[in-house]
Every structure is written in structure tokens, then in C-alpha cells.
Amino acid sequence: MRIYLVGGAVRDTLLGRPVVDHDHVVVGARPDELLAEGYRPVGKDFPVFLHPQSGEEYALARTERKTGHGYHGFAFHADPTVTLEQDLARRDLTINAIAQAQDGTLVDPFDGTGDLARRLLRHVSPAFVEDPVRLLRVARFAARFAPLGFTVAPETMALMQLMVRQGEIDHLVPERVWQETRKALAEAQPSAFLRVLREAGALAVLFPEVDALYGVPQRAEFHPEVDTGVHVEMVLDMAARIAPGNDVVGFCALTHDLGKALTPADALPRHVGHEHAGVKPLQGLVARLKVPTEHAALAELVCREHLNVHRALELKASTVLRLLSSLDALRRPERLGLFLAACEADKRGRLGHGDDDYPQAAYLLRARDAAAAVSSAPFAAQGLQGPAIGEAMAAARVAAIAHLRQSIA
């Protein structure tokens, strides 16, 4: 039995990045040998075990054979005769196909260390095309490693484009598309996820609502970058800067301007009413990918209300209260923080505006606190009951917000 550290732990150690998960491959062993040593089996499709002390994953070396379409269309073979090189050969990228022996020696049959130095995301073998999830994974790794200068190897991009043309990507299940997208939105440069998918031709298949934004012009005096697709990329990266690792804010950034793709050609580059027009395509995307409820709800609020937030300092106090109430911000202040992060990302995600101040966020946070400070107790003491208390509290909250606005004028 020989045990090797594999995958992300080896890659990230070589890159000097923090290691999150330690995965191991076991060569020359049978399941009963690991069971005898106290390992706990967890794999359904192939033998994976958890270490009795550390809880880290140990998988028997295995090979795989394509048997059908999609992520599940594989047959796996694991026995003591499968070599480490055979196991590494089934992996997606060379930088993920490096193993480390227990004495620290690296096993690198596909020159993953060379690709780390060259900053290349390159496939291990032509079998890459057999699993459509790999296309999403490459785009996600691009989002993670783009700040380090990584790009997709031309020959790998050619395979990804082939996967789209041959329809292999059509067999991706919505849950897996969302899983990879959610991870990408939490990476350091999520715009790279969109660019890689778009170059491969996959963005139009998986996210047609987003793909449709490219080439749609905006008014240059407000959007010097002009192209709406480029703007969305900038907003995504600004969201990653303002709320690092938060995929809820990232999803709001991704979908906030979907309505601009629906603007009539004769109205361009103006986009009157795009914030409301974007709700329907957003709802379609959410339903298709089975996006979680909270992501969907907050994204719809950002889509519909982001222009109101940008002009928050000009809004009537009653409108501000309505906005806060639509967010349920009085009971859930953390939700307001996420909402404002996405709106700020939109405002600053424009060419030349990345370091702009966004006082609207501070104002709305203070307005929320002022409104939340209004209590029902004084009105109950006055003898008010039922709806009358609610009406009195609403009026008092409007007055509190109006007073706040006057104090900072």
C-alpha cells in the first residue's frame, strides 16, 4: 500500500496558497485493507474512505471509462493493479494531476509543475472532452487563478469549444451548473469565469440571458466602458473586492442588468425601465438553474431597486422606508448589507470609477437604524390598538428618516 497527497493540496502548496482540503490516493490496496485499519467508507460510485483520525479523504487509485453522456456517464475501475500514473491520467488539468509521496517526492507525469510556472490551465488528456463539468471547472479555476496570471491553454480552449459544438455541454444537470457557478462567483476574479465560458461558446448555452448583454451599448457619459457585458464583468470583480467570497453578492452582480438586453434597438444606448424589465429573465434563469431562494430573492431586489439606491440621497423618506421594508431590513439588517454591497459594486464597476465613494450605503444603513429604533410602546401607551399602532409607527419611521436626511444635508 502506497499513499500519496494529490490534487489541490499539492497545487496550492506549490503556489504558496493556503491549503483547504487534503485528498489522498491509495495505490496497491483493496477496500478491506482500509476497512481493517479503521477507515470509514463514503464513496457511492467508487471506493473513497475517511481517515479514522483526520477525517481526510483517501480514494483507491482508479481508472474511468466513458459509458454515456454527462457527468454520470462513466464506469470506474479500482483494484490494486491500478497505478498512480493511471489515476492521475483521468484528472482534468495538469496542475491538478501532481502527486506527492509521503517522503515529499513529487510525481508529475503530465508536467503540472511546468504549467504552474507557465501559468497555464491545460488538460491532461483528450479524455477531457468526455466530462462536460470540466468545462465549468476550467472556467472556475480561471476565476480563481486569473489574478496570478493564469490563462487557458489554446489547445484546451479548442477542446472546450468542441464540447459545445458536439452538444456534450447540453447534458449538464442544472444542479451541477449552479454548484460550479456559485463557487466561481466567490472567487477573486469572477469575470474570468464569464470570459472563458464565452470564448468556449458555453455562455450562450448555459447563461443566454448574460451572453445577450455583450455588444449592448450604454451611454458613455455614465458607462465609459460602453459594452454592457464588459460592465457586468467589472461589477462582478468589484463585488469580489467589496464582499470577498460572498456568492450571494456575486449572483446579484451577475444578474442586476439583465433587462438591458431587452432594450429596443431604436432606444439604445438609453435603457429606460431596464431595472423592471430584468426581473422576468432573472426569474427564468433562477428557475432553470434551481438557484437557492435567498440568492434569487436578493438578486431580484437588486435588479429592481439598484437605481433607487444610487439616488437614495434624493428619495423621499417614505420611499426610503418602502425600500427598507421590501428588503425586510428592519428585522434582517444583514440582508441590507449584502444588498448594498451589490448596488455599490454596480456603481463602482465602471471604467474609471473603481475608487469612487458610495455615501448612499452609509445613509441607508443609518436610515435603517433610525427606523428600527421606533418602538410600538409609546403608541400603545397612548391607547392605540391594532392597525392604528402600525400606521403610527410607519409615520414615526418616515419622520425619523426625514430628520436623518436633514441632518446630513
**CATH code of 172's domain:** 1.10.110.30
**79-86, long-range: CB < 8 A, 24+ apart:** 79/30, 80/27, 80/28, 80/29, 80/30, 82/27, 83/27, 84/2, 84/4, 84/25, 84/27, 85/109, 86/61
Q: Cell triple for residue 27?
A: 495505490
User: How far lies 312's CA from each of 102, 360, 400, in Å?
Assistant: 59, 6, 15
Average pLDDT over residues 97-106: 95
User: How far lies 239's CA from each of 99, 187, 256, 293, 355, in Å?
Assistant: 35, 10, 12, 20, 13
Same domain assignment for residues 51 and 160: no
Whether residue 161 is contained in a domain is answered as yes
Whether residue 30 is contained in a domain is answered as yes
Same domain assignment for residues 272 and 350: yes
Same domain assignment for residues 198 and 176: yes
Check whether 233 has a pLDDT greater than 80: yes
Same domain assignment for residues 357 and 223: yes
Helix/strand/coil for 36: helix
* pLDDT > 90: percent of the chain: 79
Find, among 166, 243, 235, the residue nearest to 194 by Cα.
Answer: 235
**In this predicted structure, what is the pLDDT of residue 36?**
83
Annotated binding-site residue? 91: yes
Q: Which pTM does this prediction carry?
A: 0.91
Q: How far apart are the C-alpha atoms of 364 and 367, rounded to whole Å?
A: 5
Query: Which of the listed residues 180, 206, 232 is the one where a domain comes to its end?
Result: 206
Contacts of 238 (CB under 8 A, 6+ apart): 253, 344, 345, 348, 349, 354
Same domain assignment for residues 235 and 331: yes
Check whether 66 has a pLDDT greater than 60: no
Check whether 219 has a pLDDT greater than 70: yes
What is the layout of strands, in order, in the sheet containing 23-27? 40-41, 48-50, 57-60, 23-27, 2-6, 99-101, 106-107
Whether residue 125 is contained in a domain is answered as no
Check whether 307 has a pLDDT greater than 60: yes
Same domain assignment for residues 177 and 271: no
- CA distance between the termini of the chain: 73
Same domain assignment for residues 229 and 346: yes
Same domain assignment for residues 224 and 356: yes
Annotated binding-site residue? 21: yes
Q: How far apart are the C-alpha atoms of 99 and 82, rounded to whole Å?
A: 15
Whether residue 394 is contained in a domain is answered as no
Whether residue 383 is contained in a domain is answered as no
> Do 392 and 379 meet the contact criterion of CB atoms below 8 Å apart?
yes
Amino acid sitting at position 82: V
Write the Ramachandran bin of 122: left for phi over 0, alpha for psi from -120 to 50, otherwise beta: beta
Helix/strand/coil for 64: strand
Same domain assignment for residues 13 and 83: yes
| Residue with the three cell numbers 473513497 | 48
Contacts of 139 (CB under 8 A, 6+ apart): 180, 184, 192, 193, 196, 197, 200, 202
Q: How confident is the model at residue 255 (pLDDT cuts 50, 70, 90)?
A: very high
**CATH code of 22's domain:** 3.30.460.10
Q: 44 versus 11: which is more confidently predicted? A: 11
Annotated binding-site residue? 8: yes
Q: How far apart are the C-alpha atoms of 378 and 210, rounded to whole Å?
A: 50
Going by their DSSP bridges, the two strands 23-27 and 57-60 should be labelled as: parallel
**In this predicted structure, what is the pLDDT of residue 81?**
82
Query: Among 35-49, 217-231, 284-298, whose mean pLDDT is lowest?
Result: 35-49
For residue 57, the surrounding DSSP H or E stretch is strand 57-60
Annotated binding-site residue? 140: yes
Q: How far apart are the C-alpha atoms of 108 and 84, rounded to whole Å?
A: 10
Q: Dump pLDDT digits (tens) for 24-57.
A: 999 988 888 888 888 888 866 668 888 888 888 8
Same domain assignment for residues 226 and 202: no
**In this predicted structure, what is the pLDDT of residue 147?**
97
Helix axes 174-185, 191-200, angle to 10 degrees: 140
Based on the structure, what is the number of domains in the chain?
3
Whether residue 405 is contained in a domain is answered as no
**What burial letters (b/e) apply to 242-264, b meaning 16+ CB within 10 Å?**
bbeebbbbbbbbbbbbbbbbbbe
Query: Among 17-26, 345-354, 360-369, whose mean pLDDT is lowest?
Result: 17-26
Whether residue 378 is contained in a domain is answered as no
Annotated binding-site residue? 346: no
What's the mean pLDDT when you consider all of the chain? 93
Helix ranges, 207-246 (H): 208-211, 228-242
Check whether 74 has a pLDDT greater than 50: no
Check whether 67 has a pLDDT greater than 80: no
Find, among 332, 347, 339, the residue nearest to 301 by Cα.
Answer: 339
Radius of gyration of the chain (CA): 26
Contacts of 280 (CB under 8 A, 6+ apart): none
For residue 285, the surrounding DSSP H or E stretch is helix 279-289
Same domain assignment for residues 230 and 347: yes
Range of the domain at 348: 219-369
Whether residue 388 is contained in a domain is answered as no
| Residue with the three cell numbers 490494486 | 80
Annotated binding-site residue? 11: yes
Same domain assignment for residues 349 and 226: yes
Check whether 70 has a pLDDT greater than 60: no
Instruction: Determine phi and psi for 2, rounding to 5 degrees.
Output: -125, 135
Query: Among 85-94, 140-149, 193-202, whose mean pLDDT is lowest?
Result: 85-94
